[in-house]
């Protein structure tokens, strides 16, 4: 659920969308962008660096930090970090690239969000091995347990799965991360049905997700929301100038009723006046409800984004 390169860029949203909410920006804990690249070429595994995938550009991240962004979601492939089986050993070639970008982001005082961009799949198969999923996360968490600026994002956009399975995978990830000694970091959990805010409750994913527990009490519910007719982010047209706020209302009510915190982990709209108005309205609504909304992340940025967005190799 991504959009092709006909949308406003992250730089545009930083200067156009964020500007009207300057007075309210301090209400958000996390404001940033998705830095694509390391998840690209996902049919080529493990893939070749510089051809199939790359790592985010450090100069671009510096630019975003200078515009006030403090959170960078780094999509990766589970199969590249630990090939063959989730209980296996780390591919240090790929992992060293992740180490470098995480160290750079967190060294700047920003948050690095590690996002296995797998849609609840491993080698294209729905992940049903809950213990194996926990083992994968244990290995990852041990690597960054001492860095409290790292955030663990359980998995990108589970979809077309059993809601109970998705909840169980999320709980296993939480348990594994904490057991690995990573007790100070935030964990972003994602639900079923593409973790869409607009059907967070109607899809039934909220039922199991609402029962998640964390001894560190640092779970944040990550939802995604695009503003085109089917919520996929594949069209430049937004439904209306108020659709952003409207699509968050049910999820906001759920967060409040259940004492949860949320983040909009992906959002975007076309580079046109109706979409910009809709985005401004949505972010303004979130600021008004910052007791439950911790922030938002724009999709997307990254040095290979232009070529791959047209080819749909990763999306």
- For 17-85, the DSSP string reads ISGGGGGGGGG-SEEEEEE-STT--TTSSS--BTTTB----HHHHHHHHHTT--EEEEEE-HHHHS-SS
- Strand pairing partners for 150? 112
200 touches 223 (CB < 8 A): yes
User: Residue 135: helix, strand or coil by DSSP?
Assistant: helix
Catalytic residue among 35, 79, 157, 222: 157
Our answer to whether residue 157 is catalytic in this structure is yes
Our answer to whether residue 222 is catalytic in this structure is no
Residue 201: CB atoms within 10 A of its CB come to 16
Could you give the angle at the alpha carbon of 301 between the alpha carbons of 170 and 112, nearest 5°? 45
Give the Cα separation of 241 and 277 in Å (integer): 6
Question: Which residues carry out catalysis?
Answer: 157, 266
């Amino acid at each position: 659920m991504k959009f092709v390169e006909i949308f406003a860029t992250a730089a545009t949203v930083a200067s156009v969308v964020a500007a009207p909410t300057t007075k309210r920006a301090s209400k958000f804990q996390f404001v940033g962008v998705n830095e694509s690249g390391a998840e690209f070429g996902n049919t080529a595994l493990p893939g070749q660096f510089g051809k199939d995938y790359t790592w985010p550009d450090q100069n671009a991240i510096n630019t975003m930090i200078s515009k006030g962004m403090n959170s960078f979601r780094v999509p990766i492939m589970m199969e590249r970090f630990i090939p063959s089986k989730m209980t296996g050993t780390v591919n240090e070639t790929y992992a060293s690239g992740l180490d470098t970008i995480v160290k750079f982001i967190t060294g700047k005082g920003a948050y690095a969000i590690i996002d296995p961009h797998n849609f609840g799949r491993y080698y294209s198969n729905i992940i049903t091995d809950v213990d194996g999923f926990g083992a994968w996360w244990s290995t990852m968490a041990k690597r960054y347990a001492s860095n409290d600026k790292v955030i663990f994002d359980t998995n990108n956009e589970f979809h077309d799965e059993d809601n109970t399975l998705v909840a169980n995978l999320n709980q296993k990830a939480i348990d594994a991360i904490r057991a690995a000694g990573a007790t100070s970091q935030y964990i972003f959990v994602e639900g079923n049905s593409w973790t869409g805010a607009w059907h967070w409750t109607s899809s039934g994913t909220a039922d199991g997700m609402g029962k998640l527990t964390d001894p560190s009490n640092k779970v944040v519910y990550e939802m995604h929301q695009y503003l085109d007719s089917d919520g996929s982010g594949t069209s430049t047209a937004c439904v209306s100038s108020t659709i952003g706020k409207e699509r968050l209302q049910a999820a906001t009510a759920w967060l409040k009723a259940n004492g949860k915190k949320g983040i909009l982990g992906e959002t975007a709209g076309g580079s046109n006046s109706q979409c910009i108005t809709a985005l401004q309205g949505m972010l303004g609504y979130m600021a008004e409800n910052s007791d439950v909304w911790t922030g938002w992340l724009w999709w997307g940025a990254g040095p290979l984004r232009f070529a791959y967005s047209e080819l749909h190799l990763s999306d």
